[in-house]
Structure 1
Amino acid sequence: MSSASTTAPASPAPQPGRAPLKPLDQALAELLARAAPLHCVEAVSTFDADGRVLAQDLVSSLDVPAHDNSSMDGYAVRASDWAEGAVLQVSQRIPAGSSGHALAPASAARIFTGAPIPPGADAVVMQEDCEAVEEGVRIKAQPQLGQWIRRRGEDVAAGAVVLRRGERLTPASLGLAASIGFDKLQVAPRVRVALFSTGDELVMPGEVAPADMKPGAIYNSNRFFLRALLLRLGCTVTDLGIVPDRLDATIAALKGASQAHDLILTSGGVSVGEEDHIKPAVQALGELALWQIAMKPGKPFAYGKLGGAHFIGLPGNPVSSFVTFLVLVRPFLLKLQGATEVAPSPIALPAHFDWPKADKRREFLRARRNADGGLELFGNQSSGVLTSAVWGDGVIDNPAGRAIAHGDMVQFIPFSALMA
């Protein structure tokens, strides 16, 4: 393939007096190493377990199906009884939920979908291939051994592990659990998350009309999508609102949130400005272990511990906050729940655009698939343009130092996988 790629160092060179930015893969590995799964387990109704992480293997105590049964409405027959034009006597009728008796030679059993195959029968002929006559039924097509028969245990065999610990449950897996008799499932607990934003410029929608906004004020969009993303991951969320840009207020908010939560998630205040108080507040109360990642958007990212609570600070720019949540916070939360799969696999697709300027940081470019099977790029990749995350249907994971030419294969991660 054509390529305009260039070679770059693993991470950007540090500015004088500053530590180098941590490569994303290294930061994620360190983050996940600290995400010890929560210990307690909950029993929940299978009806209510969608999206939860299974805390124990699910072993079937029965075969599914429990007996050979018909997959069609029709007639159960012995294949060897067929002869062109011959009429078989209908000796019994077997609806689903009942059982028949042994099939006599040269006879057929009227059978319905899901009904057990009677002893002696070795094929089912769908009713469309049969003709009911006064003497019985004429089979118009020669049956093949085993046709339209679902065999005992072909879906699940007794003793098989059908769902494994650490799997995130889906609607299909709930149905599978129910098919082997589980009305309750043992799952990991919901992660308790305290969420707040920092920034005196932030205003909540509904509190101030657009026409009355003061210069420099902005609506707090991050609070809405972060809460929604947390709920999609099965967390319980305590929304602590907007904390003023003061060190004492930030310390008080963090200290209070650390008492009854597994994770404190903040947005804004993690840069290095005079009004960014998250770093000194976390250091005053506990440990700050990660600070600033070599990714774009999303360099201002922080991780620490406040007593028994984890702390993660996200950037204030909305796209930066959105992308760092999906790339870093989502796998961290899934690991806390004991999930074995915490990140989706990217898809290789051709770029239908040019991105000639290689960046020193690893980039996550908002893009969407087009009708030709390639990827289009949103025109403005600024970290403040949240429209790009609505227009796009995923991100391109572009390595540091790589320019992209039209036709190059790139790694695409759909939002549908990142926000499942």
Structure 2
Amino acid sequence: MSMGCSDRPGLMPLADGLAHLLERLVPLSGAGSVALADSVGRITAASIRAEAPVPAWDNSAMDGYALRRADLLADKPLPIQGRSLAGQPYTEPLKPGYCVRVMTGAVLPAGCDAVVMQEEAEVSDRGVTFEKVPEQGNNIRRAGEDCRAGDRLLPEGHCIRPQDVALLASVGCAEVSVRPRLKVGLLATGDELRQPDETLGVGDLYDSNRPALHALLARLGVQVNDYGVVADDPDALRQVLQQADTECDLVITSGGVSVGEADYTRQVLGELGDIEIWKLAIKPGKPLAFGRLSNSWFIGLPGNPVSSLVTFHLVATRAIRQLQGQPDKALPSLRATTTEAIRKTPGRMDFQRGVWRQTETGVEVRPTRAQQASHILGSLTEANCYIALEQDRGSVAAGETVTLWLFDALFSS
């Protein structure tokens, strides 16, 4: 067993742990094509460029009349030469002294330099009279205004969103080259864990970590292989981890990485592979393991529910994005003034759950009303940010300035 970084005295700072993790992880290789309709949530394997301009032709932004501005200077009605509809273009060039009736999205005839909306025009037997001379290019959507042929639409490593599908469809893209879907194995350990439909015995707990982690993984667009709850038995755990290692790219465990007598996850992970990180200098979530198995990477999360979710958010999420070939992305941050005192002991970076708001005088934050203990899930459900207190910092008085790490879409609705 190689303990690597965990042999070092003391705890590893979060920044050092993340730097090591991101340096070690290499994105999955390979690519495959999926239909555009099935591409949401997938990661682009290469940048995507437009093969044609959008719009493909100059077209009208309004229902109205296409004309030459110069023809209005004579202050005479303009007879209607023809009609252009979306999907039914008028193909003749505009003759001097005439106008063309156009609908929104209709191709504009050659020779026109403005469109006047129908509300600013009056039709009579003599033709169309206009209230004023429009500006050059008025109400015209130019060809290539959205994108030109050759423009990069999406970069490599981009997670495709519904609005991206619209953009790709607009250039006629029917299939997208994407990276392989990351396969993540998920399991929890603990003899005390029960499922929601089971009756609790004395000392039992409902398994809240695995359902929450499964939901977070689903939001990240990975394929989840759920191996359920494994008993506190080294042989059983070894068997499941060996199976997960052959079937997955990343294995995430919850529980069993602390130093209790029945915490076997760290022991078995060390037997099957190399543990490169163990114990980060953060609160909640000190016992966190990262390393390599024969076929896959693993991340061992703490068992306490808040610790498990926070370390997933801060560490595992960035590992997953790295393996998917996405750019690394830290949580957005803000500086804020605390409205209440915050208790803290120097030694670990503390991610207290907070509620921030914008006021007329700046950004304010307070700790959640729920306790900050690592088993109080209410501190996460109430919060919209972490109050990220530096490793060497002590308690904070009301009115002091702190740094916030804001919840991203993964933790928001």
Compute the TM-score of the two structures, normalised by the length of structure 2: 0.92
Q: Displacement, 1:98?
A: 2.9
Aligned AA (2:317): R
2:59 equivalent to 1:69: yes
Question: Per the alignment, in what secondary structure is the counterpart of residue 250 of structure 1?
Answer: helix
- Rounded to whole Å, the distance in 1 between the matches of 2:342 and 2:240 is 42
Q: Quick one: structure 1 residues 65 and 378, their matched pair in 2 at CA, closer, same or farther if it must change by over 3 Å?
A: same
Aligned equivalent of 2:297: 310
**Farther-moved stretch of structure 1 (383-392 vs 359-368):** 359-368
- Rounded to whole Å, the distance in 2 between the matches of 1:353 and 1:190 is 45
2:399 equivalent to 1:406: yes
Aligned equivalent of 2:23: 33
User: In the alignment, is the contact (CA less than 8 A) between 2:331 and 2:405 conserved in 1?
Assistant: no
2:194 equivalent to 1:207: no
Aligned with 1:251 (options 233, 238, 241): 238
Aligned equivalent of 1:175: 166
User: In the alignment, is the contact (CA less than 8 A) between 1:82 and 1:143 conserved in 2?
Assistant: no
Aligned with 2:143 (options 137, 149, 152): 152
Aligned equivalent of 1:108: 99
Aligned AA (1:412): W
- Rounded to whole Å, the distance in 2 between the matches of 1:352 and 1:50 is 41
**Percent identity of equivalent pairs:** 38
2:331 equivalent to 1:321: no
Q: Displacement, 1:18?
A: 7.7
Q: What are the superposed Cα offsets for residues 291-312 of structure 1, whole Å, 9 maximum, x if unpaired?
A: 0101111111001211011111
2:221 equivalent to 1:234: yes
Q: Quick one: structure 1 residues 250 and 172, their matched pair in 2 at CA, closer, same or farther if it must change by over 3 Å?
A: same
Q: Quick one: structure 1 residues 412 and 130, their matched pair in 2 at CA, closer, same or farther if it must change by over 3 Å?
A: farther
- Rounded to whole Å, the distance in 2 between the matches of 1:322 and 1:289 is 21
Aligned AA (1:206): D
2:74 equivalent to 1:87: no
Q: Displacement, 1:384?
A: 0.8
Q: Quick one: structure 1 residues 97 and 353, their matched pair in 2 at CA, closer, same or farther if it must change by over 3 Å?
A: farther
Q: Displacement, 1:419?
A: 6.1
Aligned with 1:386 (options 356, 377, 381): 377
**Farther-moved stretch of structure 1 (53-62 vs 388-397):** 388-397
Question: Per the alignment, in what secondary structure is the counterpart of residue 105 of structure 1?
Answer: coil
2:121 equivalent to 1:130: yes
- Rounded to whole Å, the distance in 2 between the matches of 1:216 and 1:84 is 92
Question: Per the alignment, in what secondary structure is the counterpart of residue 316 of structure 1?
Answer: coil
User: In the alignment, is the contact (CA less than 8 A) between 1:330 and 1:342 conserved in 2?
Assistant: no
2:71 equivalent to 1:78: no
Aligned with 1:23 (options 5, 13, 19): 13
- Rounded to whole Å, the distance in 2 between the matches of 1:414 and 1:175 is 27
Question: Per the alignment, in what secondary structure is the counterpart of residue 234 of structure 1?
Answer: coil
Q: What are the superposed Cα offsets for residues 184-222 of structure 1, whole Å, 9 maximum, x if unpaired?
A: 1111111111111111111110122xxxx2221111100
Instruction: Name segments (4+ residues, structure 1) moved above 4 Å.
Output: 417-420
- Rounded to whole Å, the distance in 2 between the matches of 1:136 and 1:149 is 22
User: In the alignment, is the contact (CA less than 8 A) between 1:291 and 1:300 conserved in 2?
Assistant: yes
User: In the alignment, is the contact (CA less than 8 A) between 2:32 and 2:180 conserved in 1?
Assistant: yes
Q: Displacement, 1:412?
A: 3.0
Q: Displacement, 1:365?
A: 2.1
User: In the alignment, is the contact (CA less than 8 A) between 1:86 and 1:139 conserved in 2?
Assistant: no
Q: Quick one: structure 1 residues 75 and 318, their matched pair in 2 at CA, closer, same or farther if it must change by over 3 Å?
A: same
In structure 2, the gaps of 5 or more residues are: 1-6
Q: Displacement, 1:40?
A: 2.1
Aligned with 2:39 (options 33, 49, 57): 49
Q: Displacement, 1:352?
A: 3.4
**Farther-moved stretch of structure 1 (362-371 vs 165-174):** 362-371
Q: Displacement, 1:136?
A: 2.3
Q: Quick one: structure 1 residues 323 and 84, their matched pair in 2 at CA, closer, same or farther if it must change by over 3 Å?
A: farther
2:203 equivalent to 1:216: yes
Question: Per the alignment, in what secondary structure is the counterpart of residue 95 of structure 2?
Answer: coil
Q: Displacement, 1:237?
A: 1.1
User: In the alignment, is the contact (CA less than 8 A) between 1:350 and 1:408 conserved in 2?
Assistant: yes
- Rounded to whole Å, the distance in 2 between the matches of 1:161 and 1:335 is 22
- Rounded to whole Å, the distance in 2 between the matches of 1:83 and 1:375 is 62
Aligned equivalent of 1:117: 108
Q: CA RMSD in A?
A: 2.0
2:143 equivalent to 1:143: no
Question: Per the alignment, in what secondary structure is the counterpart of residue 116 of structure 1?
Answer: coil
- Rounded to whole Å, the distance in 1 between the matches of 2:73 and 2:335 is 55
Aligned AA (1:411): L
Q: What are the superposed Cα offsets for residues 332-370 of structure 1, whole Å, 9 maximum, x if unpaired?
A: 111111112433432344433332535421122222233
Aligned equivalent of 1:338: 325
- Rounded to whole Å, the distance in 2 between the matches of 1:387 and 1:191 is 31
Aligned with 2:386 (options 386, 389, 395): 395
User: In the alignment, is the contact (CA less than 8 A) between 2:385 and 2:404 conserved in 1?
Assistant: no
User: In the alignment, is the contact (CA less than 8 A) between 1:353 and 1:377 conserved in 2?
Assistant: yes
Q: Displacement, 1:378?
A: 0.2
- Rounded to whole Å, the distance in 2 between the matches of 1:150 and 1:18 is 63
Aligned equivalent of 1:283: 270
Q: Displacement, 1:181?
A: 1.4
Aligned equivalent of 1:99: 89
Aligned AA (1:343): A
User: In the alignment, is the contact (CA less than 8 A) between 2:219 and 2:410 conserved in 1?
Assistant: no
- Rounded to whole Å, the distance in 2 between the matches of 1:254 and 1:71 is 60
